[in-house]
Amino acid sequence: MPLVTMRQLLDEAAAGNYGVAAFNVNNMEQIQGIMEAAQETQSPVIIQASRGARSYAGDRFLYHLMLAAAETYPEIPVALHQDHGNSPETCISAIELGFTSVMMDGSLAEDGKTPLDFEDNVAVTRKVVEYAHERGVTVEGELGTLGGMEDGVGSGEICLTDPEQAEEFVARTGVDALAVAIGTSHGAYKFSREPDGDILAMEIIEDIHRRLPDTHIVMHGSSSVPADVVERVKAAGGEVDAGFGVPISAIQRGIQHGVRKVNIDTDGRLAITAFMREHYRDKPGDWDPRGPGKAARAGQKFICMQRMVELGMAGHAQDYTPMTLEEMAARYAAAVGSPA
């Protein structure tokens, strides 16, 4: 099966009322772990790469690893997504490379740190939408800012999404999916205590879904930072400055109100760290890089399988026939710029 568009994956998730996890990757072992989990649970999947990942792995290496994943697991629908594109040029380069979905993060300026005003966000996002939709590619936008940092991206400040402004943003840009800020942060340290309604503004998601029932909502910074995995890292000699993550119950509540894409990065990194540290602890004389590589792959698979079941995406890989980019481009053209 060729790489498919994220829009179709999210449309199908909306029809089935489940969420689709979007896992960040940097190397072969992560991709293999994700695909093994997807095959075992029969889940569609979004694999995403940040600008940092593209720089680390190299564009051609990363893209061909993704092609290998699609060829090796032809029964699994996979979308390849550019995470946190900082400019139209970044997004266009991803589309030209072969990504089937891009995020234009116009909530921040091109430096990835300075908040961008609403009108400038609309302008850069709309530019990407026009280019991408002509080619059948999905576009995710962002309104509001998250806390924390990810690959050097982030203002360090939380600015919650205004639901009324979100309505205008979607109407003027035509984005397929909207990332919203509800109090989450990037990284392992998200909250100093288990988040409740005073910390995690789930009502924002519910309000936006009432206003925009046909727009797919995205939760960024949604790793749960599982305590058992953190303890495994520490027990194997690691040090982790981790607080509370986003409870799975909160994500599941969001899914009931239009959340279709859930970004998960930190949980995978923690699981990989735990499994690799345990490998070296138990086999201190191992100098073959394939040993820790296998452990890393197992760690990624472990956490992915959990999230695929918890988000409700397990068992949905065979529900539909994926559309080509050409078919999606025709669909966008017929909609005359409508986000639907």
Listed residue (163, 130, 167, 169) closest to 335, CA to CA: 130
In whole angstroms, what is the distance from residue 182 CA to residue 221 CA? 10
SS3 29: helix
Q: Which one of 11, 83, 176, 207 is the catalytic residue?
A: 83
**Residues 108 and 90: beta-carbon distance below 8 Å:** no
In whole angstroms, what is the distance from residue 4 CA to residue 99 CA? 9
SS3 37: helix
In whole angstroms, what is the distance from residue 251 CA to residue 259 CA? 8
Listed residue (8, 17, 71, 16) closest to 45, CA to CA: 8
Length of the chain: 340
In whole angstroms, what is the distance from residue 275 CA to residue 238 CA? 11
| Residue 333 tokens, joined | 């053209």
83 carries an active-site annotation: yes
In whole angstroms, what is the distance from residue 63 CA to residue 69 CA? 10
Secondary structure element (H or E) that encloses residue 259, with its range: strand 259-264
| Residue 60 tokens, joined | 């051609």
SS3 83: strand
Residues 6+ apart with CB under 8 A from 161: 143, 144, 180, 181, 182, 204, 208
User: Active-site residues: which are they?
Assistant: 83
